[in-house]
Chain A
Amino acid sequence: MYEFEFKPFNKMTRADYETVGFKSGLEIHQQLLTEKKLFCRCPAGKYSTEYDAEILRHMRPTLSELGEYDGTALMEFKTRKNITYRIKRETVCTYEMDDTPPFLINDEALDAALSIGLLYDCNLVDELHIIRKQYLDGSIPTGFQRTAIFALNGKVPYKGREINVMQMSIEEDSCREVSDKGHDRIYLTDRLGMPLIETVTAPEMFEPIEVAEVASICSRLVRSSGRVRRGIGAARQDVNVSVTGGTRIEIKGVPRIGLIPLLTYNEARRQWNLLRLRAELHRRKITSETFSSRIVDITRYLSRFAYLPLKEAAEKGQKASCVILKGYAGLLHWETQTGTYFAREISDRIRVIACLTDLPNIVHSDSKGENLSAPDWSFLNKTLEATSDDTLVLVWGDENDVKTACSEIIIRAKEATIGIPSETRQALEDGTNGFERILPGAERMYPDTDLPPIRVTLDRKKRLEQNLPEKFWETEKKLSDAGVPADLIREMSNPAKSALFFEFFPNRISDAKLISKILANYPKRLKKKFRSGIQPETEIYKIILENLADGKIIPSTVFTILANYSINGELILTGPLDNSAIEDKIREKADEFREIIFRNPEKKTEVISGKILAGLNFRVAFSRVIQSVEGFKGI
């Protein structure tokens, strides 16, 4: 069933994605715009890489509420990391340091979250329960993130159908990682504790472009609330991807929506190719039952290799081991993502779990690159009694790390006979992804005993509903029905602009095109023409529309008035001119016009009228200029 082979990204069709059963959902993280953090009173949104002090911590797995250890938690424990937190007085108090219990939840943040929940047409929960979601990577000093579901079962419209929003939670943001080398990981704590919402959609996107489009819709929707942060890192997407027969894989930390199509493509491709790899293993009669491997300590042979990393390991007195994967010959070079091979899955695991962060951290006998010489491989094959059907994987480093690495090599290789391991993966700039951690389960959730449940009263819901902005797609429909040109609708759906539009349309100004041109098009033109000029505020546009509605100015003068404001900061509302002013101008320019030789004499009147109009700063209607020019004798 896995005959289909992935084509390059730009050659894939919707039918191809249907063939592999591509399915994707989003988890959108969006910081809320609040003055303070979520569970303490530190200022939110102040970033700095400077710090006043450092704290060292370690993390240990604990039991979940239902009495089980979480797989991820145990994996993180294997990694034995020294975690250093950098602390700056201005942005961090003893709460973030995990030396003070939480304060009650920030109501400003909760109101913002609930409002956005309503925008998604969610059911708000009646009572919030704060939960501790364990993260043993150290990204939160407590070892868990305080989080609570506040809304369920919402939806957003997309191309004539609805994408379901399964749940929304409000949570504290985590630390920013500075570095992660060997057993030492360093974090900055400024972002820690900032209020964040996570919105989870159902896996209802069926090709990569859809995922990006839905992400854009969600992003616009939350921004329209006016209660979210903008800028780098304020919104981060996680994307879940699966293919038929595959597993739900979470790609974390997608930095921008534009990267989503390529990332989801590559993940689908990775899963598909891993399923093909499994088929190949089964063809070779290798299953989880028949899987066979051996670990051999090869430290004593280290000095005979010319390959530099091994040579250095020998000089440092490190240990080295070789894992022999029976019957795997060639399979570590099995392509998974674009230009990425199965060996990378193993190398990633070792980097994260065994803390062997200096790359390369393995070499293997399937590699086509330059590492060990052919005689070296033959020597190893012979000495370790391996055959040409086997793959040898070499790993080196500190004794304990090498031990962990060997067992991880075996675990990952064996997993290939079963399918696709449930993992959280990391988005990379080139559109591929790398292993981050084993996918955590519901076992890592634990009720927060430090805080009581929070009731969401009907009064609160009502108050928030009343102050809700209109959904942008509803605004867009209204604008479109009013006759706003399609290319201006997106710009006009800005809440301030659409509100201004409907203040004047249709009763005071019936020309929808005119209003939207002034509100959506002119600001862009002004910005382009007078880059360093003043950009008029909404209030200025309002005054102009007022004057327009009252007939005190005419449409053709509006841009000139705005341009003048942009240059001088003066709003000179000049009214229409009478016929004598037109005639004066014609007289003034008459000599000039007589000199002109027209290529198209039939356009003469129009061209002259245009010049007169500009000379009059557009303060008359064009039709009147034409009339006057036509009536003028002697041009």
Chain B
Amino acid sequence: MAENDIYKGYKGVALSVLKNFGARVWNDVIIHTANGKFIGLILPRSETADDLHIVLKIPVGYNIGIAAESIIGIDINGYKEAKYKIPEKEFPYDPLKPRVKLLGTGGTIASRLDYRTGAVIPAFSPGELYGSVPELADYCNLETEKLYGVFSENMGPEQWKGTAEAIGREIEKGVQGIVIGHGTDVMHHTAAILSFMVQNSPVPIVMVGSQRSSDRPSSDAALNLIHAIKTASESDIAEVMVCMFGPTSDEYGLLHRGTRVRKMHSSYRSTFRTIGDIPIAKVNRENITPLRTDYKKRRADNNVIINTSFEEKVSIVYYYPNMKPDIIDSLIDNGYRGIVIAGTGLGHVNKPLYPALRRAREKNIAVYMTVQTLWGFVQMYVYDTGRDIMEMGVVPAANMLPEVAYVKLCWALGQTDDLKEVEKIMMTPIAGEITEREPSNGYLIYQGGLPEVEEFISKYRK
């Protein structure tokens, strides 16, 4: 067996102490130290922790770290390796229920503990899922396929293309709904690119994740999954959606359009919000309640268009006061073909950037303007600054969210070099990424402390 497995995570002083006494990870031991003896099981150590301690699980279930230097002897009484396994149960088949495919990409919707890093790592298997969330069988016949096992932040073009192709295959095979398990950090990037790569889907495509990992009793994973599976099985909304908690309470989920959704809090359960519009629907265990009617409807055919074009040399530049042109210049010099700027206010940057922007146009680089306020349209006619910037070839990207404009530009540049063509693709709404109008209830951020807001919070659970 590899030394890595025998001494998982141990190094330096701690490693040599283990070796000296012939002990290894998962040994049942009595450790003798200058301060007395300790009985327990030697656990793996996190690789990022120091090399001075040995971790022992004592019989009451607690873990403690023992200073390696204080150890004067280790008696080995056995070996007990932890086998972390969710009880697997075969997913029951019901001929009356729809076929739903769950594609796994990673994230904490299903996860287990990693001793190497001490963090949770994704795990994914249909039987495991049924073993831990048996309610899923109330809605569908579930098939699963693990496409990837990566953390959200490691999702990229390769995974996006692969996921879009997998969706295409499943639709052709006739599944009646698709659920994609995904980490939450870049879920909205993936939702946006899939909205472009997968067009004219006849079935719901529902992205889901969890903000509290499924190794916690209070996890939102199970309920999010139930909501997503219900949506994929029963809803008539044939769009790419994100299905995550509406409030922080275990009450209902929201179905957000893939191009208008954004993660808005680093840790809240209700982190996903539709920006500049309202969500498509509300979902709980019993009902799917549409909040609007202008969504694409489910169809009985198996037709879908998959276009996985993608240009990787595209960047987002988050503008800040005092930004120097070298930021833009370095992108130009490194061969970037597209730049999305998240500008201030209605879509502005400072004058020192102008030469760099002119240079970008000369080099045939597509430059688009979005707003870092997230809510609202780019409007570059209001001030001279805006007009100047447009003059330099920067295209206002309406009310596309910066991340959405970014993935769309990647996708557009993947299809053509002709900037006129690119602009046509960019500015033609495909999946709600640009809306004609911003409804008056599309921008609602409550301000806590106001009596009427407090009254609202006290009446409705958050």
* A interface residue numbers (CB < 8 A to B): 52-67, 69, 73, 94, 97-101, 123, 125-129, 131-134, 136, 141-144, 147-149, 152-153, 167, 169, 441-447, 449, 452-453, 455
Contacts and interface: CB of A to CB of B under 8 A. Distances in A.
A446 B62 CA distance: 8
Interface centre among B64, B113, B250, B454 (most CB of A within 10 A): B64
Contact of A452 (B49, B82, B215): B49
A144 B61 CA distance: 14
Given A57-B250, A449-B120, A455-B53, A143 B64 contact: no
B55 interface: yes
A410 B61 CA distance: 31
Contacts of A152: 36, 38, 64
Interface in B404-462: 454, 457-458, 461-462
B119 A449 contact: yes
A125 to B, nearest CB: 5
Contacts of A64: 61
B82 A129 contact: no
B66 A127 contact: yes
A67 B267 CA distance: 27
B221 to A, nearest CB: 9
B186 interface: no
Contacts of B330: none
B118 A447 contact: yes
Contacts of A136: 217
Given A94-B267, A141-B218, A442 B461 contact: no
B62 A58 contact: no
Contacts of A127: 52-53, 55, 64-67
A56 to B, nearest CB: 4
Of B35, B58, B60, B223, most A-chain CB atoms within 10 Å: B60
A52 B217 contact: no
Given A127-B65, A149-B58, A169-B62, A99 B119 contact: no
Contacts of B52: 126-127, 455
A129 B55 contact: yes
A67 B85 contact: yes
A552 to B, nearest CB: 53
A147 B61 CA distance: 11
A131 B250 contact: no
Given A55-B248, A98-B218, A149 B267 contact: no
The interface centre, meaning the residue of A54, A99, A444 with most chain B CB atoms within 10 A of its CB, is A99
The 4 lowest CB-CB distance pairs between A and B, nearest first, are A143-B217, A127-B65, A442-B61, A445-B61
B32 interface: no
Given A54-B461, A64-B61, A97-B248, 7 more contacts: A52-B457, A56-B461, A63-B215, A66-B82, A99-B211, A123-B36, A449-B119
Nearest to A98: B218
A442 B59 contact: yes
10 contacts: A52-B457, A58-B223, A63-B86, A66-B83, A99-B211, A99-B269, A100-B267, A147-B62, A152-B36, A445-B57
Contacts of B35: 123
Contact of A129 (B65, B83, B214, B269): B65
Contact of B113 (A141, A142, A441, A447): A447
Given A56-B249, A63-B86, A446-B215, A455 B50 contact: yes
Q: Which of B52, B61, B212, B219 has the most CB of A within 10 A?
A: B61
A449 B82 contact: no
A89 B66 CA distance: 40
Interface in B36-71: 36, 38, 46, 48-50, 52-53, 55, 57-67, 70
Contacts of B120: 449
B93 interface: no
B268 interface: yes
Interface of B: 35-36, 38, 46, 48-50, 52-53, 55, 57-67, 70, 80, 82-87, 112-113, 118-120, 132, 211-212, 214-219, 222-223, 248-251, 265-269, 454, 457-458, 461-462
Contacts of A69: 87
Given A52-B458, A58-B250, A100-B267, A167 B217 contact: no
Contacts of B36: 123, 152-153
| Main SS class of interface, B | loop
Contacts of A97: 248
Nearest to A147: B62
A449 B62 contact: no
Contacts of A99: 211, 248, 265, 267-269
A169 B61 CA distance: 12
A64 B113 CA distance: 10
Contact of B217 (A59, A128, A441, A453): A59
A179 to B, nearest CB: 17
A67 B84 contact: yes
Contact of A126 (B53, B87, B267): B53
Contacts of A153: 36
Nearest to A443: B61
A128 B219 contact: no
A453 B36 CA distance: 21
B216 A94 contact: no
Nearest to A84: B461
Nearest to B133: A60
A308 to B, nearest CB: 35
B124 to A, nearest CB: 15
A55 B61 CA distance: 31
A134 B461 contact: no
Contacts of B48: 452
Contact of B82 (A55, A67, A123): A67
A235 to B, nearest CB: 22
Contacts of B67: 126-127
A349 to B, nearest CB: 22
Contacts of A134: 217
Given A62-B215, A455-B50, A125 B65 contact: yes
A290 B382 CA distance: 89
B370 to A, nearest CB: 29
B82 A143 contact: no
B65 A453 contact: yes
A94 B80 CA distance: 38
A285 to B, nearest CB: 37
Contact of A63 (B53, B80, B84, B267): B84
Contacts of B82: 65-67
B214 A62 contact: yes
Given A67-B82, A99-B268, A441-B61, A53 B461 contact: yes
B249 A55 contact: yes
Contacts of A67: 82-85
Given A62-B216, A101-B267, A128 B64 contact: yes
Contacts of A60: 132, 217, 219, 222
B218 A57 contact: yes
A455 B250 CA distance: 37
A447 B49 CA distance: 14
B217 A73 contact: yes
Contacts of B58: 149, 167
Nearest to A125: B64
Contact of B62 (A59, A98, A148, A443): A148
B211 to A, nearest CB: 8
A349 B86 CA distance: 28
A144 B461 contact: no
A128 B267 contact: no
A53 B55 contact: no
Contacts of A54: 461
A349 B59 CA distance: 28
B216 A52 contact: no
Given A58-B250, A99-B267, A453-B49, A447 B218 contact: no
Given A54-B461, A149-B58, A142 B63 contact: no
Contacts of B251: 56
A101 B213 CA distance: 11
Given A67-B85, A94-B268, A447-B118, A59 B218 contact: yes
